[in-house]
Chain A
């Protein structure tokens, strides 16, 4: 089969903030780096859509206070969390030097209080033109540094030294298809860094965007899983809440930090309601964790009430600041007819796993190494070495830098192994196969099956019975529909392959949720209404077996003997 070939020391898959940092840091050591993106480097993924808020360390900050805010569960590796927090300052200054525009006061990068909860002092640096400008600046710097960029090629699988999936050997590159021509591509590299973004459930409100969000099909996650990497941190995917009527970020890091309110249609300021009645306090919500707010919204929804974000009390300066830092969110509101200075905007809780920013990925250590030789992962498609409960621009920049630096170390000693031509042909054939099926299952039909499964079976509060039904439906769709997926053209082919990747990860993700016999954050279990730090201060990890099955097991958080959280079982506040 004829294909394009690109050879490099290091292949970076995905050009969001993690991929940009990985590529630039590897390139700074002199390595030859190719970055491939299925969209356009600087415009793909969550990073370009980000709400422009970067929680950063600055010299003189109270580290203990920051760690206390970060390590709210035994699931955070405290030692690595500290290394991560320190490194955010370096990444911030790197980005400043590379042309990312920050809001400054007297020439110094300004910070505001976090809307996501935590510290007693401001941590959030703000981008003067949001995520879109940040990513174009990172792109510009990577190109100036000599990173070779290939756009519109979607990586579909990893190549292995033994030609096997899962491999007993090393990763030696990847294959992909051009999203406009379906032309096959082969990438040969001594180290491959996957930065292809999050895996998340394709749950969108009925009547809104029906496609597969670019950011959340989990192509990279699925490719690593198929190749045999150990995967982790699939249990806490969620995001709490978002505007009900359209598909955009909640903007809460910024709006919450400025003290937005949430009111319900009974006219009550939710925030003033008493926690003893199962409600949340002002402290929980403006300074609390996002999940606490999401859970409060679930309570309101259960009571049949609609909740609105209210920022009408912001000053004109504050409204201008919001528009500057989170342009996408404010544009979305304005075009839908909402003026934040006059109108309240309906919000609703999002079911577990439906937000793209803190799902699971490949298990990595602080060097960005996965369980497979030659394979590195960073950002939303890694478990981010358990440096925090969620993933964010800071987590993705730091893990990207870690992976880029250690991959560069690795290739200095490593010899290049040529890929197995049979494996190359087989994987490319598999990626192209849907083009040959004329009356198979189309993208919209299968996508809707998943959406329906999600709406009908998941719900905001989980239960083993419903999760099991969801799992068996997911398995039925996977075994019956995936082999029949058909694509009408190259554009459709990329979508169908992304849907297949999502579908392959769904069963293991649901299995991880099922195994976890507790509630935590906004993973709420009707059948286990307590937080169990005694038994569940661990993660479920999994790996594919050669026979096609998957092994699951629980692993403690490594290298973190001193948990700041007592090892006891307590009722989850949602069920109080």
Chain B
């Protein structure tokens, strides 16, 4: 998966859920943290990571490296 959310750091503010262009993220209501609901749609654009106020998100393009 290309997006990782650190559940300990995430404050559940929802900024990433609001901003993700492909609507990949959702709120886990019980834990009050964001989670990756639609991993296949992540386009590795880093916008959630840029918009996270507490640095809880790490986007990786490593997983995108495949056979050209």
In the complex the two chains form, what is the Cα distance from A211 to B20 in whole Å?
14
* A437 CB–B CB distance under 8 Å: no
Residue among B38, B42, B45 having the largest count of chain A Cβ atoms under 10 Å: B45
Q: A179-B23, A328-B46 are in contact. Are A247 and B18 (CB under 8 A)?
A: no
Determine whether B47 belongs to the interface, using a CB cutoff of 8 Å to chain A.
yes
Q: How many residues of B contact A (CB 8 A)?
A: 27
In the complex, whether A146 has a CB less than 8 A from a CB of chain B is: no
Known: A209-B43, A331-B46, A491-B38. A246 touches B23 (CB 8 A): no
Which A-chain residue is minimally distant from B37 (CB atoms)? Answer: A491
Known A-B contacts A211-B41, A213-B43, A335-B61; A244 and B68 likewise in contact (beta carbons under 8 Å): yes
Verify A248–B67 contact, CB threshold 8 A.
no
CA distance A491 to B44 in the complex (A): 18
A455 to chain B, nearest CB (A): 12
Which residues of the other chain, B, contact A151 by a CB distance below 8 angstroms? 18
Main secondary structure of the interface of B (DSSP, over half): loop
Q: Can you list, as one digit per residue, whether each of A343-356 has a CB less than 8 Å from chain B (1) or not (0)?
A: 00010100000000
Which of these, A43, A205, A333, A444, contacts B21 with CB under 8 Å? Answer: A43
**Is A3 interfacial (CB-CB < 8 Å)?**
no
Cβ contact within 8 Å between A332 and B61 = yes
Contact B66 A205 (CB under 8 A): yes
A92 at the interface (CB under 8 A from B): no
Judge if B57 is at the interface, Cβ distance under 8 Å.
Answer: no
User: Which residues of B are found within 8 Å of A152, using beta-carbon distances?
Assistant: 23
Q: Which residue of B lies closest to A37 (CB)?
A: B21
Given A246-B61, A248-B61, do A39 and B43 touch, yes or no (CB 8 Å)? no
Say yes or no for A336: interface residue by CB 8 A criterion: yes
* A246 adjacent to B40 (CB under 8 Å): no
User: Which residues in chain A, 490-519, are within 8 Å of chain B measured between CB atoms?
Assistant: 491, 494-495
**Smallest beta-carbon distance A51→chain B, Å:** 12
A179: nearest residue on chain B (CB-CB)?
B23
**Residues 27-68 of chain B: 1 if any A CB is under 8 Å from the residue's CB, otherwise 0?**
000000000011011111111001100000001111011111
A40 within 8 A of B: yes
Can you list, as one digit per residue, whether each of A513-537 has a CB less than 8 Å from chain B (1) or not (0)?
Answer: 0000000000000000000000000
Query: B43 and A348: CB pair below 8 A?
Result: no
A246 to B47 CA separation, bound complex (whole angstroms): 17
Interface residues of A in 202-217 (CB under 8 A from B): 205-211, 213-214
Determine the residue in chain B with the shortest Cβ distance to A337.
B62
Query: Complex: how many Å from CA A245 to CA B22?
Result: 21
CB distance from B14 to the nearest CB of A (A): 11
Given contacts A132-B50, A207-B66, A332-B61, contact A247 B43 (CB under 8 A): yes
* A248 contacts B66, C-beta separation under 8 Å: no
Chain B residues near A214 (CB-CB < 8 A): 21-22, 43
27 sampled A-B residue pairs with Cβ under 8 A: A39-B23, A43-B19, A43-B21, A43-B47, A43-B51, A44-B21, A45-B21, A48-B21, A49-B47, A179-B23, A207-B67, A208-B64, A210-B40, A211-B43, A214-B43, A244-B68, A245-B66, A245-B68, A246-B64, A248-B61, A332-B46, A333-B61, A336-B60, A348-B68, A491-B23, A491-B37, A495-B41
**Could you list which residues of chain B lie within 8 angstroms of chain A, going by C-beta atoms?**
18-23, 37-38, 40-47, 50-51, 59-62, 64-68
The 3 closest A-B pairs by CB, nearest first: A207-B66, A244-B68, A246-B64
Task: List 14 additional A-B contacts (Cβ < 8 Å) besides A205-B66, A332-B61, A491-B37.
Answer: A39-B23, A40-B20, A49-B45, A205-B67, A205-B68, A208-B64, A209-B43, A211-B42, A246-B44, A246-B65, A247-B64, A331-B61, A335-B59, A348-B68
Interface residues of A (CB under 8 A from B): 39-40, 42-45, 48-49, 132, 151-152, 179-180, 205-211, 213-214, 244-248, 327-328, 331-333, 335-337, 346, 348, 444, 491, 494-495
